[in-house]
A and B are shown apart, each in its own frame.
Chain A
Amino acid sequence: MRKGQMEVMGLAIIVILVSVSMLFAISFVVLKKPTSYKSEFTQTELASNMLSTLLETTIPNCNDLNMKDLYKDCAIDPLNPQVRCDDPGCWLNYSLGVGEQCTSCEFINYTTQVILSETLGKWNTGYGFIARTSTDTLVSVGRCPGVKKHKIYPIPIDPSGKNILDVSLDVCN
């Protein structure tokens, strides 16, 4: 190869290298999406606060028990729960007869759906809520495929602590 041709080759290589580095710079600087701090914070905070607040809520129509107690009662024996709730909304939802009352399992299903649709549903935030023991699924509301923030709240349902009720909430966009 002649000297002139070698020089042209060198120049071509330099031009290619400069172009490639420029492309990299453009892809990193110009096309950089802003870090979504708020969305990160909101989803994390929502998932953890929603679960703890929901389970802490006192239910006046269920002997002033809180949601955690009702979940526990349902988890101990889902086919024959002990606690009954005199709640008109739940009564209507399950179309119960006169004098009948919702069981704790019916009540937690109804109330969890109501609270989640009144909050996450109204804010157009995707969610998936599930409460299950090793043998039964007590409540399952919504679905959250793809990227999500996951929070889990384990509730021991017997004194030995062997049987655990896992209440989990996924929050997605």
Chain B
Amino acid sequence: MGKKSQIQMGESIAILFIFFVLLIFGFVFYMNIMKGSAKVEVEENIQLKAVGIAQKASFLPELQCSEENVRVEDCIDRHKLEAVHNLLSENNIYYFDIFEFSNISVRKVYPFPEVGETIDWELYDNVPGEFTSKLSTFIPVSLFNSTTKSYDFGILAVEVYTK
């Protein structure tokens, strides 16, 4: 074999080597970009899920106030609230489709409670043993007492967990 052809082969091998090195660098770079954007998408999806569950909780017909069959906005019926506590825990499997892994509770903030008055209602509690993220949403709501026709200031707290 001539010296010239040996040099040419060496050149070809060097070019191929550099080509593959560049290819590997490009691939690693591309994978990193994809990983980054996938992470962003996962985070956005978790947030959307949390918002969705908070919306479902605040529009739950089992809790809503109504006057002459017309829904009152941002309002929870106190009598329904006390009844729903048992309803949700007894039908945990049905409500899992709606609320998944979350904790939903209502707390009365104002007027300040009298002695012995209930101010916390735990509506749904399905917290996984291990979770990767927890997003809390607080929604101010009026707590309507149809007996005294009064509205208290309350907070609907929705905590959504992701495994």
Give chain A's interface residues, CB within 8 Å of chain B.
25-26, 29-30, 32-38, 41-42, 45-46, 49-50, 52-54, 56-61, 64, 66, 89, 111, 114-115, 118-119, 123
Contacts and interface: CB of A to CB of B under 8 A. Distances in A.
B151 A57 contact: yes
A119 B140 contact: yes
A57 B110 contact: yes
A155 B112 CA distance: 26
Contact of B137 (A36, A38, A61): A38
Contact of B151 (A32, A58, A119): A58
Contacts, number: 84
B36 interface: yes
A34 B155 CA distance: 28
Contacts of B151: 56-58, 66
A162 B146 CA distance: 34
Interface in B116-135: 135
Q: Report the 10 A-B pairs with minimum CB-CB distance, sorted nearest first.
A: A58-B150, A38-B47, A49-B140, A53-B140, A34-B40, A34-B43, A37-B47, A57-B153, A41-B51, A50-B140
Contacts of A29: 33, 36-37
B98 interface: no
B111 interface: yes
Interface of B: 32-33, 36-37, 40, 43-44, 47-48, 50-51, 54, 73-74, 109-112, 135, 137-142, 150-155
B43 to A, nearest CB: 5
B153 A53 contact: yes
A32 B37 CA distance: 8
12 contacts: A26-B33, A30-B33, A30-B36, A34-B40, A37-B44, A41-B51, A49-B140, A58-B152, A60-B111, A60-B150, A111-B110, A118-B110
A114 B110 contact: yes
A66 B145 CA distance: 14
Given A30-B33, A53-B142, A60-B111, A115 B51 contact: no
Contacts of A30: 32-33, 36-37
B33 A57 contact: no
Contact of B139 (A37, A45, A66): A45
A12 B13 CA distance: 25
Most buried by A among B140, B141, B142, B151: B140
A56 B142 CA distance: 7
